[in-house]
């Protein structure tokens, strides 16, 4: 049996352990995440209707302790449910909802030590792989800003660090250097210019962590993986409805969330675009997100945080670039790849974007100043 079929048959067996009414009609691979195996599971219900769910096999090579991770996800989603209800929102659509197993657990562990979980499928939504309009990106910014705001009072001490040093850029730099020194699959010689680009920016890796250490930036509950495809948009209204992919919700800097969104969404091309002439920072999109994020955070950010927006964008883009390049050097063991050199192509887009941010630095700073002054 192929790996894909094996996983799918595991998915079918896993579903039997969840408290879901009806019988499985279909299980299909779903979405474009780089980490978990995601399926759409369609159930035939007793009344002749259908109900859909998201089933995921958690990547336990990356998330070392799935039960602890699920404690975070349950804690955060239950908390968000209450906040959304208080705001007269719809908690079945505006946050993820964990479906329990027959034993009442938030995950199922199979005989091969695979960990599975199920969420209600949020119906009537769109997941965008690319920003289609400045308005969408503004809405995305507002959603991620609001996510931070909704979790502002969440008991931080209850959150587990699901991946240590996730956005600690100096630590990511050390990982990259280790991958380079080991050169496990003999690829370093193929990518000297990219390696040079990464190494020559070591000094800047400290820009945010130093400010955190000095107490100039506050630690908050952040999402940490704010790609546009981690938001579901309401098909009917175009509103950014639900923030998903909560595996990395941990204490972090607001600038991680701001920056990671910019690196993915304000680029003129896809994360894995091969034609680098298509990759630039779109300043109109940068501005739209800045406005949306400030609106969503609703006055909660400090002046220092806002001032550092451009650095957040640059550092998160650089960090992702060294992670992709490091994974290329390690033999593609972390991010899912779908073609030869996939991680290298991804690293190249990130570095092209960093270089473009360096060129457009003054404009980025002016845009942030303009909107900072307006709040």
Which stretches of the chain bind Mg ion, using CB under 5 A?
33, 230, 245
CB of 275 to ligand ADP, least distance (A): 24
Q: How far apart are CA 157 and CA 221, in angstroms?
A: 10
Question: For residues 96 and 179, which CB has a smaller minimum distance to ligand ADP in the complex?
Answer: 96
Q: How far apart are CA 223 and CA 297, in angstroms?
A: 13
Can you give the binding site for ligand GN1, defined by CB under 6 A?
Answer: 33-35, 62, 225, 227, 230, 245, 247-248, 260, 271, 320
Question: For residues 33 and 296, which CB has a smaller minimum distance to Mg ion in the complex?
Answer: 33
Among 36, 146, 148, 222, binds ligand ADP (CB under 6 A): 36
Q: How far apart are CA 20 and CA 6, in angstroms?
A: 22
Residue 35 in contact with ligand ADP, rule: CB under 6 A: yes
Query: Distance from CA of residue 38 to its chain's centroid?
Result: 15
Q: Which partner, ligand ADP, ligand GN1, Mg ion, none, binds residue 248 by CB below 5 to 8 Å per kind?
A: ligand GN1
Contact 296, 143 (CB under 8 A): yes
Q: What are phi and psi for residue 363, nearest 5 degrees?
A: -70, -40
Q: How far apart are CA 269 and CA 131, in angstroms?
A: 10
CB of 208 to ligand ADP, least distance (A): 24
Q: How far apart are CA 88 and CA 85, in angstroms?
A: 5
CB of 324 to Mg ion, least distance (A): 16
Q: How far apart are CA 315 and CA 355, in angstroms?
A: 12
Q: Which residues pair with 39 in a beta bridge?
A: 29, 55
Q: Which partner, ligand ADP, Mg ion, ligand GN1, none, binds residue 268 by CB below 5 to 8 Å per kind?
A: none
Residue 81 in contact with ligand ADP, rule: CB under 6 A: no
Question: For residues 120 and 212, which CB has a smaller minimum distance to ligand ADP in the complex?
Answer: 120
CB of 33 to ligand GN1, least distance (A): 4
Residue 18 in contact with ligand ADP, rule: CB under 6 A: no
Q: Tell me if residue 72 falls in helix, strand or coil.
A: helix
Task: Considering only residues 239 through 268, tell me which ones interact with ligand ADP, judged by CB under 6 A.
Answer: 244-245, 247
Q: Tell me if residue 340 falls in helix, strand or coil.
A: coil
Question: For residues 107 and 173, which CB has a smaller minimum distance to Mg ion in the complex?
Answer: 107
Q: How far apart are CA 98 and CA 119, in angstroms?
A: 5
Q: Tell me if residue 234 falls in helix, strand or coil.
A: strand
Burial class (CB in 10 A: 0-12, 13-18, 19+), 48: exposed
Contact 326, 199 (CB under 8 A): no
Question: For residues 228 and 364, which CB has a smaller minimum distance to ligand ADP in the complex?
Answer: 228
Which residue of the chain is nearest ligand GN1 when measured via CB?
34
Contact 259, 167 (CB under 8 A): no
Question: For residues 212 and 270, which CB has a smaller minimum distance to ligand ADP in the complex?
Answer: 270
CB of 294 to ligand ADP, least distance (A): 25
Q: Which partner, Mg ion, ligand GN1, ligand ADP, none, binds residue 83 by CB below 5 to 8 Å per kind?
A: none
Task: Considering only residues 214 through 233, tell me which ones interact with ligand ADP, judged by CB under 6 A.
Answer: 229-230, 232
Contact 120, 92 (CB under 8 A): yes
Among 122, 255, 367, 368, binds ligand ADP (CB under 6 A): 122
CB of 215 to ligand GN1, least distance (A): 26
Q: How far apart are CA 124 and CA 234, in angstroms?
A: 6
Residue 30 in contact with ligand ADP, rule: CB under 6 A: yes
CB of 168 to ligand ADP, least distance (A): 20
Nearest to 332 by CA among 16, 30, 15, 34: 34
Task: Considering only residues 135 through 194, tell me which ones interact with ligand ADP, judged by CB under 6 A.
Answer: none
Residues that bind ligand ADP (CB under 6 A): 30-36, 38, 54, 96, 119, 121-122, 127, 229-230, 232, 244-245, 247
């Amino acid at each position: 049996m192929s790996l894909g079929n094996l996983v799918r048959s595991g998915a079918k067996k896993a579903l039997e352990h969840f408290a879901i009414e009806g019988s499985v009609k279909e299980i299909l691979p779903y979405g474009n995440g780089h980490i978990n195996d995601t399926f759409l599971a369609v159930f035939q219900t007793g009344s002749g209707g259908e109900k859909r769910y998201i089933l995921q096999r958690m990547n336990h090579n990356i998330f070392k302790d799935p039960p602890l991770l699920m404690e975070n996800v349950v804690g955060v989603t239950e908390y968000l449910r209450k906040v959304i209800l208080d705001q007269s929102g719809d908690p079945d659509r505006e946050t993820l909802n964990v479906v329990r197993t027959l034993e009442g657990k938030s995950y199922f562990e199979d005989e091969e030590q695979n960990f599975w979980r199920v969420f209600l499928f949020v119906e009537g939504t769109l997941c965008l792989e690319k920003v289609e309009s400045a308005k969408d990106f503004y809405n995305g910014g507002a959603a991620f800003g609001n996510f931070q705001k909704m979790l502002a009072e969440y008991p931080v001490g209850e959150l587990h660090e699901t991946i240590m040093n996730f956005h600690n850029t100096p630590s990511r730099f050390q990982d990259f250097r280790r991958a380079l020194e080991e050169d496990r699959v003999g690829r370093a010689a193929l990518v000297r210019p990219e390696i040079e680009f990464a190494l020559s920016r070591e000094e800047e890796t400290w820009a945010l962590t130093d400010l955190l250490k000095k107490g100039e930036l506050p630690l908050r509950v952040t999402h940490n993986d704010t790609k546009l495809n981690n938001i579901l948009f309401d098909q009917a209204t175009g509103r950014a409805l639900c923030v998903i992919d909560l595996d990395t919700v941990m204490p972090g800097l607001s600038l991680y969330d701001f920056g990671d969104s910019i690196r993915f969404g304000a680029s003129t091309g896809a994360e894995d675009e091969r034609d680098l002439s298509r990759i630039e920072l779109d300043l109109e999109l940068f501005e739209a997100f800045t406005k949306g994020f400030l609106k969503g955070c609703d006055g909660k950010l400090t002046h220092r945080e806002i001032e550092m927006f451009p650095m957040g964008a640059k550092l998160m883009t650089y960090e992702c670039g060294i992670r992709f390049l490091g994974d290329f050097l390690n033999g593609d063991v972390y991010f899912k790849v779908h073609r030869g050199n996939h991680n290298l192509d991804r690293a190249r887009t990130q570095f092209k974007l960093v270089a473009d941010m360096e060129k457009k630095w003054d404009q980025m700073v002016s845009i942030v100043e303009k909107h900072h002054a307006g709040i």
